[in-house]
Amino acid sequence: MKGNSKGCRAWKNYFKHVHTLVYVMDYADKRRWSMDKYYLESLLNNSDMKNLPILVSANKCDDVAQESVV
């Protein structure tokens, strides 16, 4: 399902029928990391999502230029 604000509001309509949570984040877009954290925490704090298997995937991690460590 879409991760934009409109799509996120619709997520709760499907919680009772969920058997697994797969959360895919755009790893190349660092500006969205805090929003991804917020949405994932919101999902995990929902009582309908308790005790579900969870997979978090970082999409586009191959697009990120390697940064040197000093």
Annotated binding site: 59-62
Identify whether the C-beta of residue 28 lies closer than 8 Å to the C-beta of residue 60: yes
Q: What are phi and psi of 61, to 5 degrees?
A: -70, -20
Q: Which residues are annotated as a binding site for GTP?
A: 59-62
